[in-house]
Amino acid sequence: MDGTSDVIVVGAGVIGLSIAWRVAQRGLSVTVVDPAAGSGASWTAAGMLAPVTELHYEGRELLALNVESAARYPAFVADLAETTGMDVGYRRCGTVVAAWDAADLAALRDLHAFQVSLGVDSHLLTSRELRAQEPSLAAGLPGGLWAPGDHQVDNRLLHRALVRAATAAGAPLVSARVVGWRQAGERVTGVLTDDGRQFSAGTVVLAAGAWSGVTDGLPDPAVPPVRPVKGQTLRLRGPRELLGHVVRGSVRGNPVYVVPRADGSLVVGASSEEAGFDVRARTGAVFDLLRDAQTLVPGLSETEFVEVSTSVRPGSPDNAPLIGPSPLPGLLYATGHYRNGILLTPLTADLVTGLITGTGAVPPVCDPQRYAAEEART
């Protein structure tokens, strides 16, 4: 046995690391295993913290989860800053949604009514108010929405800070890939890694993002229903004053957003494709993002083109995460966060910590057992 700890976390993205950090803070010993920490969706994400403007009609159950996690962000980043001395770019900038044409504005009005019915803070903007709020938007856009509570964090800084925080809390990072699972009967008792080592623990948390569904050697019934959904983002660099808020919209039906960092960087996202684990940047997706983003913010054409980033999000059958017990004792899930992984990081860490320390339960919307219950019903 190469290591025994209370908890093993498989996956060192923001989800896995925040769990490791929080659990280690409670005095438990934690080992984190990942062959390439933070190289997945945590790296490619744009860092929008957008419970309101990510809300879709079918997503009302997820809304409470997203709102709750957004509410925990200020304390989460403050705690992280205290631990690590790092500023992770949490920016209370609000989000503007620009309508692209009259039909899009009509759809936004309906969405706004739905949002208001759920009690979230969202305001309709006239064309004039829209440009007053964000003068770099294209002239002639017919109106939009203002979601003052939809903020952002720099996901790459967040990941770096979480590496430091988890390490400082005594949760070492093992740079290896999980290729097998130790079991005692049904119970999961540890993992085997591709460098031939074995680790055991009382609890194993599967937090491997899109790769959670393809972890070698996990018995079939314990494989979570998570699939890779390819996403591309672009990094640009422009004048700091170009945008003051997150800007998003739907141009000819294609969703696009631009997240302005405090240093003048701009993240443009995001494509969404079902392409397995192919994380090569696709030319057509780069083009579509540039076209749609420039349509909303023409000044982007004069920015510096810095980077294309591609990864796979962990999609789930109902787009809500899987947080909680797996079918096997000893194995917890913290995966399937799809488009909301950065946003749901503080809450996920707290929920999993509560389960491990026996001090909390998870809400039904993210309980992995809901799929089994669903199957039993039908």
Q: Interface residues with a copy of itself (CB under 8 A)?
A: 236-237, 280-287, 290-291, 294, 300-306, 308
Least CB distance from residue 267 to a copy of itself, whole Å?
13
Closer residue to a copy of itself (CB): 276 or 284 = 284
Least CB distance from residue 277 to a copy of itself, whole Å?
14
Least CB distance from residue 211 to a copy of itself, whole Å?
21
**Amino acid at site 163:** V
Query: Tokens for 155?
Result: 């996901």
d(CA 134, CA 205): 43
Closer residue to a copy of itself (CB): 282 or 370 = 282
Closer residue to a copy of itself (CB): 232 or 335 = 232
Closer residue to a copy of itself (CB): 133 or 294 = 294
Closer residue to a copy of itself (CB): 221 or 298 = 298
Least CB distance from residue 260 to a copy of itself, whole Å?
14
d(CA 112, CA 106): 10
Closer residue to a copy of itself (CB): 186 or 304 = 304
Least CB distance from residue 300 to a copy of itself, whole Å?
6
Are 94 and 146 in contact by the 8 Å Cβ rule? The answer is yes
Least CB distance from residue 287 to a copy of itself, whole Å?
4
Contacts of 122 (CB under 8 A, 6+ apart): 52, 112, 115, 116, 145, 146, 147
Instruction: Give the DSSP per-residue string, 186-218.
Output: TEEEEEEETTS-EEEEEEEEE--GGGGGG-TT-
Contacts of 351 (CB under 8 A, 6+ apart): 323, 324, 360, 362, 366
What are the φ/ψ torsions at residue 151 (nearest 5 degrees)?
-110, -160
Closer residue to a copy of itself (CB): 163 or 289 = 289
Least CB distance from residue 288 to a copy of itself, whole Å?
9
Are 173 and 156 in contact by the 8 Å Cβ rule? The answer is no
Contacts of 272 (CB under 8 A, 6+ apart): 229, 230, 231, 255
